[in-house]
Chain A
Amino acid sequence: MSKHLIYGLLLSILMVIAPHAEHLPLWASSLCAGLLAWRTYLAYSGTALPKRWLLMLVTLAATAGIVIEFHTLFGREAGVTLLVLLAALKPMELHKARNAMVVIYLACFIIITNFFYSQSIPTALYLLATLMVIVTTWVHLQAQGIALKARARIAALLLLQALPLMLILFVLFPRVPGPLWGLPQDAYASSGLDERMAPGSLSRLSLSQAVAFRVTYNDKPPRRDQMYWRGPVLWMFDGRAWTPGTTALSVAPQFTELGQPINYSVTLEPHNKAWLFALDVPDKLSIPATSRDTLLAQTADCGSGCEAAIPAPDASQRRVMAATLTHDFQILNKEPVNARLRYAARSHLVYRANLQETAQQLKRGLQLPRQFNPRAQQLAAEWRSSEKDDETIVRTALSYFHNQNFVYTLEPPPLGVHTVDDFLFTTKQGFCEHYASAFVFLMRAAGIPARVVTGYLGGEFNSVGNYYIVRQSDAHAWAEVWLAGRGWVRFDPTGAIAPERIQRGLSAALPDNAALPFMARNPPQWMRELRLNLDTLANQWNQWVLGYDAERQFAFLTRLGIESITWQKMALDMAGGLGIAIALFALFMLRHLFARQPDKVQAAWLKLCARLAKSGLPRAAHEGAQDYAARIAAARPELAEAIRDLAARYTALRYRAGHDEHEQREFLQRAKALKI
């Protein structure tokens, strides 16, 4: 086996496992790197391969390492680690072409594991390049003695030929709603809002530029400071952290006096939690990817002013529901969102919600750990004693934040046991979770039912793709207070300290904060545009490539004019399409059976005749090669031998069966070399 072939195989393996270095245990990455380096050295120096028992030992040790690290050999992390290690070990037994074949197949197979971690465009491009390297090596294995450039060309051609097949498979392969097979739980990345909010949790999240979801408004979008994307609602405070507490009631919320509806669709990045985000109060939601039954149940329109169309969880209905609306207006998906999810929703920004709140809920809204934060409780008690009206107390609290020199910062100083007291009276520096937490605490201490709502605020408008990008850095926390006669009303204490945050976003509120990631600060215009363009591309990729599900497929095929789509029909179409594509390729490749081989020979002969014509001996158009050669030989005896030879070769190439490249090359060279 040639050195260069081995280098190619090693490069293939290296490229295919390199992206895993990011999340593999350090020892595994180092072991792979070491093995590949060692193998390269062995090939370079021509030393014999290691003994079998040694390889067995390393394999066993590596397997044991995986078991110790992950406590299993299965699942995403352990499985991928095992595969990667075996792939790095395999080149150690490259004895025959058969082994090389195994390495190639292994590399092809391991490509797919990279998609467990990322399905972005750069990943796809990188893996395409990897595939190119693998196929080039494969060509090398099959046909030694072809130059690298020619091999790469063949590989590129092969991949190009695979393209139509890929497209047919992609477009027509019957999609089923939901994944075909489940990945292990640890396969899903989880980043985003948590159910638990403690001081520092949102400010940490704000450093992430990761996309939470993208929104397209059907009509005019609302004002930016109205874009409150409601997420988890937190009721329970333990003195430090807020949690949702015990499950809410299975009673539908009541919305009255609804204003103009706003229709929009959201493409939610997987966050591994069940909740979906919607603006304020949603009364309609449809998840296209789910089956039709669910869709009908979801889209039942009720008009404005009535109860929500999204039914409250009901044991009998829950099975067919894709999502439910809880009593505190959270939308809960049937299962954790561990794949990109697209849904359309309708929301109302003007509303009265739960005017008749249950006593139980109002009691939950007043829960307080009495042993913490005595000073804050005292402050609230003072407000309560001087004011009777709940709403005035709310105003008092907001103006308190506004007037007492509070600072809005991503890096607040640490807080002690009495988190709210320390924040309110000592440090006076905090991020939105501090303000929301302290505000709700004060309200509850003053006897006003209140709760913390987390979610996202605002988003970046992408003028290129005409949609909003909501990032993790847009994560926000605010408060909702229940006022008699008004129901649950949103108050955002952050707005009292840093109104720019509400109106223009985090970078406007914290212009010179070095802790903000570079991209979250105000970048130059061209960079902003580039970023928006890239995000538009990513969005298209998400929508049409990664998000090409049963519904998209149906819509696309209908637009192509394919009627009454069933999966059987699609499977037939797919098989037919593949058959046609393969047949076309076969025809193209076998065209030399039907057509004559590219006529270099004829061209060379005609050129030779033209040269002879210049010397005064033109060939008549109807003159055969033998006759012409005889005539030339008579007129130019010194050329006789050469021209007879050429004519014989030409005749043989043109009129005889079964000649090879070599004969052709020989003729072309001689025809060229003839001196007249």
Chain B
Amino acid sequence: MSNSLHHAITQAEQIILGKPQQIRLALACLLARGHLLIEDLPGVGKTTLAHVLARTLGLQFSRIQFTSDLLPADILGVSVYQRDTNEFKFHPGPIFAQMVLADEINRATPKAQSALLEAMEEQQVTIEGTTRALPAPFFVIATQNPAYQIGTFALPESQLDRFLMRIQMGYPDAQAERGLLSGMDRREIVAGLSPQMTSVELFELQKQARKIFVSPALLDYVQAILRHTREAVRYTHGLSPRAGLSLLAAARAWALLDNRDAVIPEDVQAVLPGVASHRLQAPGEHARQNSDMLVRELIESVAIP
């Protein structure tokens, strides 16, 4: 693993205490060039994680707070008439940044949500007939509150699929919490963070991740997992081919983080909760079942060929 990546992880772990797995998953997601959805209660450090990642990776950062009255123009930007030059001038919205934190995405109306999601998919936005490219690299870290909270518009499945991973933060353990409570103000530390890599280096790492070797035996395993989700009655619908591709890309990035040049089944198992939990749903009355449980069952019921 490159030094810079190692430093980035170390630096993030110093701020976000007791969450190494989440940090690595988030990094893997970025290395796999995917967007990340963090779902948890308010105040468990979602925003901080996004901040830390942006800072550490040296990315230009912007934040959009999603509310129920948020309009697409608030995300994308607007053209304003300039009286002195007699023409419209485009004022880019907060989406024009390398890392966009979309906070509480499920508080906004579907219209505003889809404006963001389209930008995520296309890596470009079209405003008033003009297509404008978004900066590269372009990451969206969206956070959302658990769906049962009041005043939320749940993201439809098709839009959830746009996120490579969904992770949950969870409460910190006692030791981490003690560190958090006794330590400095998080906001101050984040402000003082220094970038550990340039965007060129990040590009390189992404390229490296794509080159990680995948053996036929591993493909067998991935296919066995996909097949299982499609055949078992435990899921309303199986994983899509795009999910399969995402799983492989994430596993590659995970292998890179683990400093290996080939993907092994453990990599797949490590990223599977992130990649599959928001794409799988138990049918009927089990719909509310914890999705992490579903994925754990999935792992345990597919033998490694």
Contacts and interface: CB of A to CB of B under 8 A. Distances in A.
Interface of A: 596, 602, 620-627, 651-652, 654-657
A652 B262 CA distance: 8
Interface string B285-305: 000000000000001111110
Contacts of B263: 655
Given A655-B214, A656-B261, 11 more contacts: A621-B304, A622-B269, A622-B300, A622-B304, A625-B264, A625-B265, A626-B266, A654-B215, A654-B217, A655-B263, A657-B213
B215 A623 contact: no
29 contacts: A596-B216, A596-B217, A602-B217, A621-B303, A621-B304, A622-B269, A622-B299, A622-B300, A622-B301, A622-B302, A622-B303, A622-B304, A624-B266, A625-B265, A626-B266, A627-B266, A651-B264, A654-B215, A654-B217, A655-B213, A655-B214, A655-B215, A655-B217, A655-B218, A656-B213, A656-B261, A657-B215, A657-B261, A657-B262
A599 B203 CA distance: 37
Interface string B183-220: 00000000000000000000000000000011111100
A652 B263 CA distance: 10
Contacts of A622: 269, 299-304
A625 B261 CA distance: 16
Contacts of B301: 622
Max chain B CB contacts within 10 Å: which of A596, A620, A655?
A655
Nearest to B213: A657
A643 B41 CA distance: 42
A272 to B, nearest CB: 66
Interface of B: 213-218, 261-266, 269, 299-304
Can you list the 3 inter-chain pairs with the closest CB atoms, starting with the nearest?
Answer: A621-B303, A624-B266, A656-B262
A626 B264 CA distance: 9
A13 B25 CA distance: 70
A656 B265 contact: no
A626 B267 CA distance: 10
B257 to A, nearest CB: 15
A19 to B, nearest CB: 52
Contacts of A657: 213, 215, 261-262
B227 to A, nearest CB: 14
Contacts of A654: 215, 217
A195 B252 CA distance: 91
A246 to B, nearest CB: 86
A43 B213 CA distance: 51
Contacts of B266: 624, 626-627
A624 B216 contact: no
A624 to B, nearest CB: 4
A582 B257 CA distance: 46
A646 to B, nearest CB: 14
Contacts of B217: 596, 602, 654-655
Nearest to A599: B217
A192 B42 CA distance: 113
A625 B265 CA distance: 8
A624 B213 CA distance: 17
Contacts of B302: 621-622
Contacts of A623: 304
Contacts of A596: 216-217
Contacts of A626: 264, 266
B115 to A, nearest CB: 41
A651 B218 CA distance: 10
A651 B269 CA distance: 15
A623 B303 CA distance: 8
A32 B290 CA distance: 90
A623 B304 CA distance: 7
A626 B299 CA distance: 15
A602 B305 CA distance: 9
A624 B304 contact: yes
A655 B303 contact: no
A425 to B, nearest CB: 99
Contacts of A656: 213, 215, 261-262
Contacts of B214: 655
A411 B84 CA distance: 140
Contacts of A652: 262
A651 B267 CA distance: 12
A624 B264 contact: yes
Nearest to A619: B304
B21 to A, nearest CB: 15
B226 to A, nearest CB: 15
Contacts of A627: 266
Contacts of A625: 264-265
Nearest to A652: B262
B262 A655 contact: yes
A596 B219 CA distance: 12
A622 to B, nearest CB: 5
Nearest to A621: B303
A651 B265 CA distance: 9
A624 B265 contact: yes
Nearest to A654: B217
A620 B300 CA distance: 8
B229 to A, nearest CB: 14
Contacts of B215: 654-657
A657 B261 CA distance: 9
B264 A655 contact: yes
A615 to B, nearest CB: 21
Contacts of A620: 300
Query: Of residues A622, A656, A657, which shows the largest number of chain B Cβ atoms within 10 Å of its Cβ?
Result: A622
Contacts of B213: 655-657
Contacts of B265: 624-625, 655
Contacts of A621: 302-304
Contact of B269 (A602, A624, A655): A624
A620 B303 CA distance: 8
Nearest to B265: A624
A621 to B, nearest CB: 3
A101 B262 CA distance: 43
A625 B267 CA distance: 11
Contacts of A651: 264
B180 to A, nearest CB: 30
Nearest to B301: A622
Contacts of B303: 621-622
A627 B267 CA distance: 11
A658 to B, nearest CB: 9
A652 B214 CA distance: 11
A402 B300 CA distance: 108
A340 B265 CA distance: 70
A624 B265 CA distance: 6
B216 to A, nearest CB: 5
Contacts of B304: 621-624
Nearest to B269: A624
Nearest to A601: B217
